Structure 1
Amino acid sequence: MNVQIIADSACDLSKSSYDDYNIEMVSLTVHLDDNDFEDGKTISAKTVYDAMRDGKKPKTSQVSPQAFRNTFLKYAEKNQPTVYFSFSSELSGTYQSAKLMETEVKEQYPDWELRIVDTKCASLGYGLVVLRAAQLSQEGASLENIVEIGSYHAEHMEHIFTVDDLEYLYRGGRVSKTAAVVGTMLKIKPLLHVDNGKLIPLEKIRGSKKVLKRMLDLMDERGMSLSSQPIGISHGDDIDQANQLASLIKERFGTENIHIEMVGSSIGAHSGPGTIALFFLNDEYK
Protein backbone atom coordinates (compact mmCIF):
# COMPACT_ATOMS: atom_id res chain seq x y z
CA MET A 1 0.00 0.00 0.00
CA ASN A 2 1.51 3.30 -1.11
CA VAL A 3 1.82 6.21 1.29
CA GLN A 4 -1.05 8.69 0.99
CA ILE A 5 0.01 12.34 0.57
CA ILE A 6 -2.23 15.11 1.92
CA ALA A 7 -1.78 18.81 1.22
CA ASP A 8 -3.87 21.92 1.77
CA SER A 9 -5.02 24.39 -0.84
CA ALA A 10 -2.26 26.91 -0.05
CA CYS A 11 0.11 24.76 -2.13
CA ASP A 12 -1.54 26.25 -5.25
CA LEU A 13 -1.42 23.07 -7.31
CA SER A 14 -3.98 22.48 -10.05
CA LYS A 15 -6.72 19.87 -9.87
CA SER A 16 -4.89 17.87 -12.54
CA SER A 17 -1.83 17.64 -10.28
CA TYR A 18 -3.95 16.37 -7.39
CA ASP A 19 -5.56 13.81 -9.67
CA ASP A 20 -2.40 12.69 -11.48
CA TYR A 21 -0.47 12.15 -8.26
CA ASN A 22 -3.34 11.00 -6.03
CA ILE A 23 -2.89 13.90 -3.61
CA GLU A 24 -5.68 14.51 -1.11
CA MET A 25 -6.36 18.24 -0.78
CA VAL A 26 -8.06 19.96 2.14
CA SER A 27 -9.27 23.53 1.65
CA LEU A 28 -8.69 26.73 3.52
CA THR A 29 -11.79 28.93 3.70
CA VAL A 30 -12.31 32.13 1.72
CA HIS A 31 -14.84 34.66 3.05
CA LEU A 32 -16.34 36.88 0.32
CA ASP A 33 -19.67 38.73 0.04
CA ASP A 34 -20.83 37.30 3.39
CA ASN A 35 -20.34 33.76 2.11
CA ASP A 36 -17.78 31.06 2.93
CA PHE A 37 -16.10 29.13 0.12
CA GLU A 38 -13.69 26.20 -0.06
CA ASP A 39 -10.47 27.40 -1.67
CA GLY A 40 -9.81 25.48 -4.88
CA LYS A 41 -13.19 23.74 -4.78
CA THR A 42 -16.14 26.12 -4.57
CA ILE A 43 -14.41 29.36 -5.53
CA SER A 44 -11.77 30.13 -8.15
CA ALA A 45 -8.75 32.37 -7.73
CA LYS A 46 -9.93 34.37 -10.74
CA THR A 47 -13.18 35.20 -8.91
CA VAL A 48 -11.21 36.45 -5.91
CA TYR A 49 -8.89 38.61 -8.02
CA ASP A 50 -11.80 40.16 -9.92
CA ALA A 51 -13.49 40.95 -6.60
CA MET A 52 -10.31 42.59 -5.31
CA ARG A 53 -10.05 44.70 -8.46
CA ASP A 54 -13.60 45.83 -7.72
CA GLY A 55 -12.50 47.00 -4.27
CA LYS A 56 -13.73 44.04 -2.23
CA LYS A 57 -11.66 42.67 0.64
CA PRO A 58 -11.84 38.87 0.85
CA LYS A 59 -10.61 37.21 4.01
CA THR A 60 -9.39 33.71 4.71
CA SER A 61 -9.28 31.21 7.54
CA GLN A 62 -7.42 28.00 8.21
CA VAL A 63 -8.54 24.49 7.35
CA SER A 64 -11.14 23.51 9.92
CA PRO A 65 -10.36 20.82 12.50
CA GLN A 66 -13.45 18.90 11.29
CA ALA A 67 -12.09 18.78 7.73
CA PHE A 68 -8.88 17.28 9.06
CA ARG A 69 -10.75 14.81 11.25
CA ASN A 70 -12.84 13.54 8.34
CA THR A 71 -9.82 13.26 6.06
CA PHE A 72 -7.61 11.56 8.62
CA LEU A 73 -10.32 9.06 9.53
CA LYS A 74 -10.65 8.01 5.89
CA TYR A 75 -7.07 6.76 5.86
CA ALA A 76 -6.90 5.65 9.49
CA GLU A 77 -9.81 3.28 8.89
CA LYS A 78 -7.83 1.68 6.04
CA ASN A 79 -4.63 1.79 8.09
CA GLN A 80 -2.92 3.47 5.13
CA PRO A 81 0.36 5.21 5.98
CA THR A 82 -0.15 8.96 5.47
CA VAL A 83 1.90 12.14 5.39
CA TYR A 84 0.36 15.60 5.55
CA PHE A 85 2.68 18.37 4.35
CA SER A 86 1.27 21.63 5.67
CA PHE A 87 1.27 25.31 4.75
CA SER A 88 3.74 27.29 6.87
CA SER A 89 2.70 27.46 10.52
CA GLU A 90 4.02 31.05 10.56
CA LEU A 91 1.34 32.10 8.06
CA SER A 92 -1.68 30.04 9.13
CA GLY A 93 -3.12 28.05 12.02
CA THR A 94 -3.74 25.11 9.69
CA TYR A 95 -0.75 23.11 10.95
CA GLN A 96 -1.96 23.46 14.54
CA SER A 97 -5.45 22.29 13.55
CA ALA A 98 -3.94 19.21 11.94
CA LYS A 99 -1.88 18.39 15.02
CA LEU A 100 -4.96 18.72 17.20
CA MET A 101 -6.88 16.24 15.06
CA GLU A 102 -3.89 13.91 14.84
CA THR A 103 -4.06 13.44 18.60
CA GLU A 104 -7.80 12.82 18.53
CA VAL A 105 -7.81 10.36 15.62
CA LYS A 106 -4.81 8.39 16.93
CA GLU A 107 -6.59 7.84 20.23
CA GLN A 108 -9.07 5.82 18.19
CA TYR A 109 -6.49 4.30 15.80
CA PRO A 110 -3.21 4.15 17.77
CA ASP A 111 -1.41 1.95 15.23
CA TRP A 112 -2.08 4.18 12.24
CA GLU A 113 1.07 5.78 10.79
CA LEU A 114 0.64 9.52 10.27
CA ARG A 115 3.34 12.16 9.95
CA ILE A 116 2.59 15.89 9.83
CA VAL A 117 5.34 18.08 8.36
CA ASP A 118 5.34 21.86 8.71
CA THR A 119 6.95 22.83 5.40
CA LYS A 120 7.43 26.50 6.36
CA CYS A 121 6.63 27.05 2.66
CA ALA A 122 3.83 28.75 0.74
CA SER A 123 2.18 28.79 -2.68
CA LEU A 124 3.97 26.79 -5.36
CA GLY A 125 7.14 26.51 -3.27
CA TYR A 126 4.99 24.40 -0.97
CA GLY A 127 3.45 22.79 -4.06
CA LEU A 128 6.83 21.62 -5.37
CA VAL A 129 7.50 19.94 -2.02
CA VAL A 130 4.16 18.15 -2.22
CA LEU A 131 4.74 17.06 -5.82
CA ARG A 132 8.12 15.54 -4.97
CA ALA A 133 6.58 13.63 -2.06
CA ALA A 134 3.75 12.38 -4.28
CA GLN A 135 6.22 11.23 -6.93
CA LEU A 136 8.10 9.26 -4.29
CA SER A 137 4.86 7.72 -3.08
CA GLN A 138 4.00 6.56 -6.61
CA GLU A 139 7.46 5.00 -6.83
CA GLY A 140 6.69 2.99 -3.69
CA ALA A 141 8.95 4.89 -1.28
CA SER A 142 8.56 4.33 2.45
CA LEU A 143 6.87 6.79 4.76
CA GLU A 144 10.18 7.67 6.43
CA ASN A 145 11.91 8.22 3.09
CA ILE A 146 9.10 10.50 1.90
CA VAL A 147 9.26 12.53 5.11
CA GLU A 148 13.04 12.80 4.89
CA ILE A 149 13.21 13.93 1.26
CA GLY A 150 10.09 16.09 1.50
CA SER A 151 11.52 17.85 4.56
CA TYR A 152 14.81 18.39 2.72
CA HIS A 153 12.99 20.05 -0.18
CA ALA A 154 11.00 22.22 2.23
CA GLU A 155 14.12 23.30 4.09
CA HIS A 156 15.93 24.28 0.88
CA MET A 157 13.03 25.87 -1.03
CA GLU A 158 13.60 29.51 -1.94
CA HIS A 159 10.66 31.89 -2.36
CA ILE A 160 11.26 35.17 -4.20
CA PHE A 161 8.20 37.26 -5.01
CA THR A 162 6.86 40.69 -5.77
CA VAL A 163 3.41 42.26 -5.65
CA ASP A 164 1.74 44.73 -7.96
CA ASP A 165 0.07 46.86 -5.29
CA LEU A 166 1.52 47.45 -1.82
CA GLU A 167 -1.97 48.15 -0.48
CA TYR A 168 -2.67 44.42 -0.17
CA LEU A 169 0.48 43.88 1.89
CA TYR A 170 -0.51 46.83 4.06
CA ARG A 171 -3.88 45.20 4.78
CA GLY A 172 -2.02 42.08 5.86
CA GLY A 173 0.27 44.05 8.13
CA ARG A 174 3.41 43.48 6.03
CA VAL A 175 4.13 47.15 5.31
CA SER A 176 3.06 50.45 6.88
CA LYS A 177 0.35 52.65 5.39
CA THR A 178 2.95 55.30 4.60
CA ALA A 179 5.17 52.80 2.83
CA ALA A 180 2.20 51.55 0.80
CA VAL A 181 1.15 55.04 -0.30
CA VAL A 182 4.68 56.29 -1.05
CA GLY A 183 5.65 53.04 -2.72
CA THR A 184 2.65 53.17 -5.02
CA MET A 185 3.30 56.81 -5.91
CA LEU A 186 6.96 56.14 -6.71
CA LYS A 187 6.17 52.88 -8.53
CA ILE A 188 8.32 50.94 -6.10
CA LYS A 189 8.08 47.17 -6.45
CA PRO A 190 8.96 45.30 -3.27
CA LEU A 191 10.83 42.02 -3.39
CA LEU A 192 10.08 39.65 -0.52
CA HIS A 193 11.17 36.16 0.43
CA VAL A 194 10.28 33.51 2.99
CA ASP A 195 12.66 32.98 5.89
CA ASN A 196 11.81 30.17 8.33
CA GLY A 197 8.20 30.30 7.22
CA LYS A 198 7.74 34.07 7.55
CA LEU A 199 7.30 36.67 4.81
CA ILE A 200 10.27 39.02 4.99
CA PRO A 201 10.83 42.20 2.89
CA LEU A 202 14.05 41.83 0.92
CA GLU A 203 14.55 44.81 -1.39
CA LYS A 204 12.71 47.70 -3.02
CA ILE A 205 13.04 48.11 -6.77
CA ARG A 206 11.81 51.09 -8.76
CA GLY A 207 10.17 50.04 -12.00
CA SER A 208 8.59 46.71 -12.89
CA LYS A 209 11.06 45.92 -15.70
CA LYS A 210 13.94 45.76 -13.23
CA VAL A 211 12.11 43.40 -10.92
CA LEU A 212 12.24 40.28 -13.10
CA LYS A 213 15.95 40.77 -13.76
CA ARG A 214 16.63 41.12 -10.05
CA MET A 215 14.61 37.96 -9.35
CA LEU A 216 16.83 36.09 -11.83
CA ASP A 217 19.97 37.55 -10.24
CA LEU A 218 18.83 36.31 -6.83
CA MET A 219 18.03 32.93 -8.36
CA ASP A 220 21.57 32.81 -9.74
CA GLU A 221 23.05 33.78 -6.36
CA ARG A 222 20.99 31.37 -4.27
CA GLY A 223 20.11 28.46 -6.54
CA MET A 224 21.98 25.29 -7.40
CA SER A 225 21.71 23.03 -10.47
CA LEU A 226 19.11 25.38 -11.91
CA SER A 227 19.11 23.75 -15.33
CA SER A 228 18.06 20.35 -14.00
CA GLN A 229 15.71 20.98 -11.06
CA PRO A 230 11.97 21.77 -11.36
CA ILE A 231 11.29 25.51 -11.04
CA GLY A 232 7.98 26.96 -9.87
CA ILE A 233 6.34 30.22 -10.93
CA SER A 234 3.02 31.36 -9.53
CA HIS A 235 1.13 34.47 -10.54
CA GLY A 236 -1.81 36.57 -9.40
CA ASP A 237 -3.83 36.39 -12.62
CA ASP A 238 -0.95 37.61 -14.78
CA ILE A 239 0.00 34.70 -17.03
CA ASP A 240 1.82 36.95 -19.50
CA GLN A 241 4.34 38.08 -16.89
CA ALA A 242 4.69 34.52 -15.62
CA ASN A 243 5.47 33.31 -19.14
CA GLN A 244 7.94 36.16 -19.59
CA LEU A 245 9.75 35.13 -16.41
CA ALA A 246 9.78 31.50 -17.57
CA SER A 247 11.32 32.51 -20.91
CA LEU A 248 14.03 34.50 -19.14
CA ILE A 249 14.83 31.52 -16.90
CA LYS A 250 15.10 29.15 -19.87
CA GLU A 251 17.33 31.59 -21.71
CA ARG A 252 19.64 32.26 -18.78
CA PHE A 253 19.84 28.86 -17.08
CA GLY A 254 18.70 26.38 -19.73
CA THR A 255 15.91 25.14 -17.46
CA GLU A 256 13.23 23.04 -19.15
CA ASN A 257 11.05 21.88 -16.23
CA ILE A 258 9.11 25.00 -15.22
CA HIS A 259 5.79 24.60 -13.42
CA ILE A 260 3.43 27.60 -13.71
CA GLU A 261 0.26 27.99 -11.63
CA MET A 262 -2.03 30.81 -10.52
CA VAL A 263 -1.67 31.90 -6.90
CA GLY A 264 -4.76 30.41 -5.25
CA SER A 265 -7.54 32.18 -3.39
CA SER A 266 -6.20 31.70 0.12
CA ILE A 267 -2.84 33.35 -0.59
CA GLY A 268 -4.03 35.63 -3.38
CA ALA A 269 -6.52 37.28 -1.03
CA HIS A 270 -3.48 38.69 0.81
CA SER A 271 -0.99 39.25 -2.02
CA GLY A 272 -3.41 40.59 -4.64
CA PRO A 273 -3.60 40.60 -8.44
CA GLY A 274 -0.33 40.95 -10.29
CA THR A 275 1.78 38.97 -7.83
CA ILE A 276 4.71 37.09 -9.37
CA ALA A 277 6.53 34.45 -7.33
CA LEU A 278 9.55 32.29 -8.10
CA PHE A 279 10.50 29.03 -6.36
CA PHE A 280 13.65 26.92 -6.59
CA LEU A 281 16.02 24.85 -4.46
CA ASN A 282 19.18 26.32 -3.00
CA ASP A 283 20.77 22.86 -2.78
CA GLU A 284 21.03 19.73 -4.92
CA TYR A 285 17.78 18.16 -6.13
CA LYS A 286 16.91 14.84 -4.52
Structure 2
Amino acid sequence: MSSTGQGGNGHVVVVTDSTASLPAQVAAEHGIVVVPLQVVIGAQVIDEGSAEATPDRVAEALRAYTPVSTSRPAPAAMLAAYERAHAEGASAVVSVHISSEMSGTYESALLAARDAPLPVLVVDSRQVGIGTGYAALAAAHVAAGGGSAQDVADVARARAAATSSFFYVDTLEYLRRGGRIGAAAALLGGALAVKPLLRIEDGRVGSLERVRTSARALARLEELAVEAAGEQEVDVYVAHLANPERAEALSDRLRERLADNLGGRELWSGELGAVLGAHVGPGMIAVCLAPLDPLPTDPD
Protein backbone atom coordinates (compact mmCIF):
# COMPACT_ATOMS: atom_id res chain seq x y z
CA MET A 1 0.00 0.00 0.00
CA SER A 2 0.95 3.65 -0.18
CA SER A 3 3.51 4.97 2.33
CA THR A 4 1.63 8.27 2.64
CA GLY A 5 -1.71 7.23 4.05
CA GLN A 6 -3.28 8.48 7.26
CA GLY A 7 -4.85 5.33 8.60
CA GLY A 8 -8.38 4.74 9.77
CA ASN A 9 -9.92 4.76 13.23
CA GLY A 10 -7.53 2.30 14.91
CA HIS A 11 -4.33 3.13 16.72
CA VAL A 12 -1.02 4.17 15.17
CA VAL A 13 1.96 1.91 15.91
CA VAL A 14 5.48 3.33 16.07
CA VAL A 15 8.28 1.16 14.67
CA THR A 16 11.98 1.97 14.97
CA ASP A 17 15.28 0.10 14.66
CA SER A 18 17.80 -1.14 17.20
CA THR A 19 20.24 1.74 16.61
CA ALA A 20 17.67 3.98 18.35
CA SER A 21 19.26 2.73 21.59
CA LEU A 22 16.00 2.59 23.54
CA PRO A 23 16.14 0.41 26.65
CA ALA A 24 13.96 -2.64 26.01
CA GLN A 25 11.62 -1.84 28.89
CA VAL A 26 11.12 1.73 27.65
CA ALA A 27 10.26 0.56 24.13
CA ALA A 28 7.83 -2.02 25.54
CA GLU A 29 6.20 0.49 27.90
CA HIS A 30 5.48 2.85 25.01
CA GLY A 31 4.45 0.13 22.55
CA ILE A 32 7.38 0.83 20.22
CA VAL A 33 8.32 -2.06 17.93
CA VAL A 34 12.10 -2.41 17.45
CA VAL A 35 13.51 -4.10 14.33
CA PRO A 36 17.14 -5.20 14.78
CA LEU A 37 20.10 -4.41 12.56
CA GLN A 38 22.85 -7.00 12.36
CA VAL A 39 26.49 -6.87 13.40
CA VAL A 40 28.90 -9.14 11.54
CA ILE A 41 31.90 -10.27 13.61
CA GLY A 42 34.25 -12.36 11.51
CA ALA A 43 31.88 -14.68 9.66
CA GLN A 44 29.10 -14.58 12.28
CA VAL A 45 25.97 -12.49 11.65
CA ILE A 46 24.20 -11.53 14.88
CA ASP A 47 21.01 -9.55 15.55
CA GLU A 48 21.67 -6.43 17.60
CA GLY A 49 20.07 -6.84 21.00
CA SER A 50 20.74 -10.57 21.19
CA ALA A 51 22.85 -11.96 24.01
CA GLU A 52 25.75 -12.58 21.61
CA ALA A 53 25.93 -9.02 20.23
CA THR A 54 27.44 -7.37 23.28
CA PRO A 55 29.33 -4.07 23.19
CA ASP A 56 32.24 -5.79 24.96
CA ARG A 57 32.48 -8.37 22.22
CA VAL A 58 32.49 -5.67 19.53
CA ALA A 59 35.14 -3.66 21.37
CA GLU A 60 37.33 -6.74 21.78
CA ALA A 61 36.97 -7.67 18.10
CA LEU A 62 37.89 -4.13 17.00
CA ARG A 63 40.96 -4.09 19.22
CA ALA A 64 42.01 -7.48 17.82
CA TYR A 65 41.50 -6.31 14.20
CA THR A 66 38.84 -8.99 13.71
CA PRO A 67 36.66 -7.87 10.78
CA VAL A 68 33.53 -6.15 12.11
CA SER A 69 30.79 -4.77 9.89
CA THR A 70 27.07 -4.08 10.11
CA SER A 71 24.01 -4.81 8.03
CA ARG A 72 20.63 -3.11 7.71
CA PRO A 73 17.41 -5.05 8.28
CA ALA A 74 16.07 -6.70 5.14
CA PRO A 75 12.84 -5.18 3.78
CA ALA A 76 11.18 -8.50 4.67
CA ALA A 77 11.98 -7.94 8.36
CA MET A 78 10.41 -4.49 8.22
CA LEU A 79 7.39 -5.84 6.37
CA ALA A 80 6.91 -8.53 9.03
CA ALA A 81 6.75 -5.80 11.70
CA TYR A 82 4.17 -3.86 9.70
CA GLU A 83 2.10 -7.00 9.09
CA ARG A 84 2.11 -7.79 12.82
CA ALA A 85 0.90 -4.27 13.60
CA HIS A 86 -1.94 -4.72 11.09
CA ALA A 87 -2.86 -8.11 12.50
CA GLU A 88 -3.05 -6.56 15.98
CA GLY A 89 -5.52 -3.91 14.83
CA ALA A 90 -3.35 -0.94 13.98
CA SER A 91 -4.72 1.51 11.42
CA ALA A 92 -1.30 2.85 10.41
CA VAL A 93 2.40 2.65 11.20
CA VAL A 94 4.95 5.42 11.63
CA SER A 95 8.42 3.96 11.10
CA VAL A 96 11.23 6.15 12.53
CA HIS A 97 14.81 5.29 11.57
CA ILE A 98 18.50 6.10 11.68
CA SER A 99 19.71 8.72 9.22
CA SER A 100 19.60 7.55 5.62
CA GLU A 101 23.06 9.10 5.23
CA MET A 102 24.45 6.51 7.66
CA SER A 103 22.47 3.33 6.94
CA GLY A 104 20.23 1.68 4.38
CA THR A 105 17.63 0.99 7.08
CA TYR A 106 15.40 3.87 5.91
CA GLU A 107 15.47 2.46 2.37
CA SER A 108 14.48 -0.98 3.65
CA ALA A 109 11.53 0.61 5.45
CA LEU A 110 10.43 2.45 2.29
CA LEU A 111 10.58 -0.77 0.27
CA ALA A 112 8.58 -2.66 2.91
CA ALA A 113 5.99 0.14 3.12
CA ARG A 114 5.04 -0.45 -0.53
CA ASP A 115 3.84 -3.96 0.28
CA ALA A 116 2.41 -3.31 3.74
CA PRO A 117 -1.28 -4.14 4.38
CA LEU A 118 -1.81 -0.74 6.06
CA PRO A 119 -0.53 2.81 5.51
CA VAL A 120 3.08 3.33 6.61
CA LEU A 121 4.75 6.72 7.01
CA VAL A 122 8.54 6.34 7.03
CA VAL A 123 10.57 9.01 8.86
CA ASP A 124 14.26 9.62 8.23
CA SER A 125 15.31 10.97 11.63
CA ARG A 126 18.58 12.41 10.25
CA GLN A 127 19.90 11.33 13.65
CA VAL A 128 21.98 8.47 15.02
CA GLY A 129 21.54 6.53 18.25
CA ILE A 130 19.26 7.87 20.97
CA GLY A 131 18.54 10.92 18.80
CA THR A 132 16.40 8.55 16.75
CA GLY A 133 15.09 6.97 19.95
CA TYR A 134 13.88 10.27 21.37
CA ALA A 135 12.08 10.98 18.09
CA ALA A 136 10.36 7.59 18.34
CA LEU A 137 9.35 8.29 21.95
CA ALA A 138 7.81 11.62 20.93
CA ALA A 139 5.96 9.81 18.17
CA ALA A 140 4.67 7.18 20.59
CA HIS A 141 3.45 9.93 22.95
CA VAL A 142 1.33 11.48 20.19
CA ALA A 143 0.12 8.06 19.02
CA ALA A 144 -0.99 7.20 22.56
CA GLY A 145 -2.96 10.44 22.63
CA GLY A 146 -4.89 9.43 19.53
CA GLY A 147 -2.95 11.52 17.02
CA SER A 148 -3.17 10.78 13.32
CA ALA A 149 -0.32 9.06 11.51
CA GLN A 150 0.67 12.43 10.03
CA ASP A 151 0.70 14.06 13.48
CA VAL A 152 2.84 11.22 14.80
CA ALA A 153 5.32 11.48 11.93
CA ASP A 154 5.47 15.29 12.19
CA VAL A 155 6.39 15.28 15.88
CA ALA A 156 9.06 12.63 15.27
CA ARG A 157 10.66 14.82 12.61
CA ALA A 158 10.36 17.94 14.76
CA ARG A 159 12.01 16.40 17.79
CA ALA A 160 14.78 14.80 15.74
CA ALA A 161 15.51 18.13 14.05
CA ALA A 162 15.74 19.88 17.44
CA THR A 163 18.08 17.26 18.92
CA SER A 164 21.82 17.84 19.39
CA SER A 165 24.33 14.97 19.39
CA PHE A 166 28.02 15.45 20.21
CA PHE A 167 30.74 12.83 20.67
CA TYR A 168 34.44 12.18 20.72
CA VAL A 169 36.39 9.17 19.60
CA ASP A 170 39.87 8.00 20.52
CA THR A 171 40.61 7.58 16.81
CA LEU A 172 38.80 8.28 13.55
CA GLU A 173 40.07 4.96 12.17
CA TYR A 174 36.87 3.01 12.84
CA LEU A 175 34.65 5.67 11.24
CA ARG A 176 37.01 5.70 8.25
CA ARG A 177 36.93 1.89 7.93
CA GLY A 178 33.13 1.93 7.81
CA GLY A 179 33.01 4.77 5.30
CA ARG A 180 31.22 7.05 7.79
CA ILE A 181 33.84 9.82 7.56
CA GLY A 182 36.23 10.89 4.81
CA ALA A 183 39.71 9.41 4.54
CA ALA A 184 41.24 12.90 4.54
CA ALA A 185 39.56 13.76 7.84
CA ALA A 186 40.68 10.46 9.36
CA LEU A 187 44.24 11.05 8.21
CA LEU A 188 44.22 14.57 9.63
CA GLY A 189 42.99 13.38 13.01
CA GLY A 190 45.66 10.69 13.22
CA ALA A 191 48.46 12.94 12.05
CA LEU A 192 47.77 15.51 14.74
CA ALA A 193 47.38 12.88 17.48
CA VAL A 194 44.26 14.68 18.68
CA LYS A 195 40.91 13.70 20.13
CA PRO A 196 38.33 14.63 17.48
CA LEU A 197 35.08 16.17 18.68
CA LEU A 198 32.27 15.38 16.26
CA ARG A 199 28.58 16.09 15.87
CA ILE A 200 25.65 14.76 13.88
CA GLU A 201 24.93 17.44 11.31
CA ASP A 202 22.16 17.04 8.72
CA GLY A 203 22.28 13.29 9.12
CA ARG A 204 26.05 12.96 8.76
CA VAL A 205 29.09 12.87 11.03
CA GLY A 206 30.57 16.36 11.01
CA SER A 207 33.83 17.63 12.45
CA LEU A 208 33.43 20.09 15.33
CA GLU A 209 36.76 20.64 17.10
CA ARG A 210 40.04 18.91 17.86
CA VAL A 211 41.49 18.83 21.36
CA ARG A 212 44.70 17.33 22.68
CA THR A 213 43.55 15.10 25.53
CA SER A 214 40.62 12.92 26.58
CA ALA A 215 40.16 15.08 29.67
CA ARG A 216 39.83 18.19 27.52
CA ALA A 217 37.43 16.39 25.19
CA LEU A 218 35.24 15.46 28.14
CA ALA A 219 35.24 19.05 29.41
CA ARG A 220 34.28 20.35 25.96
CA LEU A 221 31.44 17.81 25.65
CA GLU A 222 30.12 19.12 28.97
CA GLU A 223 30.25 22.73 27.79
CA LEU A 224 28.69 21.90 24.40
CA ALA A 225 25.83 20.10 26.15
CA VAL A 226 25.17 22.99 28.51
CA GLU A 227 25.24 25.48 25.61
CA ALA A 228 22.88 23.33 23.51
CA ALA A 229 20.42 22.96 26.40
CA GLY A 230 20.21 26.69 27.06
CA GLU A 231 16.97 27.40 28.92
CA GLN A 232 15.07 24.52 27.33
CA GLU A 233 13.61 21.47 29.02
CA VAL A 234 15.59 18.55 27.62
CA ASP A 235 16.08 14.83 27.87
CA VAL A 236 19.76 13.89 28.09
CA TYR A 237 21.61 10.66 27.30
CA VAL A 238 25.32 9.94 27.79
CA ALA A 239 26.62 6.95 25.80
CA HIS A 240 30.00 5.27 25.68
CA LEU A 241 31.85 2.26 24.32
CA ALA A 242 34.29 0.62 26.74
CA ASN A 243 34.72 3.90 28.66
CA PRO A 244 32.40 3.67 31.69
CA GLU A 245 34.42 5.79 34.11
CA ARG A 246 34.53 8.86 31.87
CA ALA A 247 30.87 8.41 30.91
CA GLU A 248 29.92 8.29 34.59
CA ALA A 249 31.97 11.41 35.32
CA LEU A 250 30.29 13.31 32.47
CA SER A 251 26.85 12.10 33.55
CA ASP A 252 27.42 13.30 37.12
CA ARG A 253 28.53 16.74 35.94
CA LEU A 254 25.57 17.12 33.59
CA ARG A 255 23.04 15.98 36.22
CA GLU A 256 24.30 18.82 38.37
CA ARG A 257 24.57 21.51 35.69
CA LEU A 258 21.38 20.62 33.82
CA ALA A 259 19.19 19.95 36.86
CA ASP A 260 16.77 22.74 35.92
CA ASN A 261 16.61 21.59 32.28
CA LEU A 262 15.91 18.01 33.34
CA GLY A 263 13.07 19.05 35.64
CA GLY A 264 13.37 15.91 37.72
CA ARG A 265 13.59 13.53 34.75
CA GLU A 266 16.33 10.93 34.81
CA LEU A 267 19.52 11.48 32.82
CA TRP A 268 20.07 8.26 30.91
CA SER A 269 23.50 6.74 30.54
CA GLY A 270 24.58 3.50 28.92
CA GLU A 271 26.88 1.61 26.64
CA LEU A 272 26.45 2.03 22.91
CA GLY A 273 24.90 -0.89 21.05
CA ALA A 274 26.92 -3.27 18.90
CA VAL A 275 26.06 -1.75 15.50
CA LEU A 276 26.98 1.86 16.29
CA GLY A 277 29.88 0.68 18.44
CA ALA A 278 31.36 -1.09 15.43
CA HIS A 279 31.74 2.28 13.68
CA VAL A 280 33.12 4.45 16.48
CA GLY A 281 35.42 2.09 18.36
CA PRO A 282 36.38 1.72 22.03
CA GLY A 283 36.73 4.88 24.09
CA MET A 284 33.89 6.83 22.46
CA ILE A 285 31.81 9.17 24.63
CA ALA A 286 28.63 10.85 23.35
CA VAL A 287 26.02 13.19 24.74
CA CYS A 288 22.60 13.72 23.18
CA LEU A 289 20.11 16.43 24.17
CA ALA A 290 16.51 16.32 22.95
CA PRO A 291 14.27 19.31 23.74
CA LEU A 292 10.77 18.58 24.97
CA ASP A 293 9.29 21.48 22.97
CA PRO A 294 7.98 19.35 20.08
CA LEU A 295 5.92 17.29 22.52
CA PRO A 296 2.32 18.46 22.88
CA THR A 297 1.27 19.72 26.29
CA ASP A 298 -1.02 17.32 28.13
CA PRO A 299 -4.46 18.84 28.74
CA ASP A 300 -5.38 19.74 32.30
**Could you tell me how far 1:155 is from its partner in structure 2?**
0.9
Once residues 28 and 57 of structure 1 are traced to their aligned partners in structure 2, the CA distance between those partners, rounded to angstroms, is 17
1:195 aligned residue (184, 196, 201): 201
Tell me, yes or no, if the aligned pair for 1:235 and 1:262 is still in contact at 8 Å.
yes
Question: CA 1:21–1:239 in structure 2 vs 1: closer, same or farther (change >3 Å)?
Answer: farther
Give CA-to-partner distance per residue, 1:136-179, whole Å, 9 cap, x none: 33344433322222111011111111112232123234244533
Q: Which residue of 2 aligns with 1:71?
A: 81
Give CA-to-partner distance per residue, 1:4-25, whole Å, 9 cap, x none: 1111011112222222222111
User: Matched residues, percent identical?
Assistant: 27
- In structure 2, stretches of 5+ residues that fail to align are 1-9, 296-300
Show structure 1 runs of 4+ deviating over 4 A: none
1:31 aligned residue (40, 43, 46): 40
Question: CA 1:283–1:15 in structure 2 vs 1: closer, same or farther (change >3 Å)?
Answer: closer
3-state SS of paired residue (2:234)? coil
More moved, 59-68 vs 250-259: 250-259
Q: Which residue of 1 aligns with 2:243?
A: 238
Q: Which residue of 2 aligns with 1:15?
A: 24
CA-based RMSD: 2.0
Tell me, yes or no, if the aligned pair for 2:199 and 2:208 is still in contact at 8 Å.
yes
3-state SS of paired residue (2:237)? strand
Once residues 268 and 5 of structure 1 are traced to their aligned partners in structure 2, the CA distance between those partners, rounded to angstroms, is 25
**Could you tell me how far 1:79 is from its partner in structure 2?**
4.7
Tell me, yes or no, if the aligned pair for 2:159 and 2:291 is still in contact at 8 Å.
no
3-state SS of paired residue (1:22)? coil
Q: Which residue of 2 aligns with 1:252?
A: 257
3-state SS of paired residue (2:134)? helix
2:101 aligned residue (87, 90, 93): 90
**Could you tell me how far 1:130 is from its partner in structure 2?**
1.6
Question: Which residue identity does 1:272 align to in structure 2?
Answer: G
- In structure 1, stretches of 5+ residues that fail to align are none
3-state SS of paired residue (1:202)? strand
Q: How many residues end up aligned between the 2 structures? A: 277
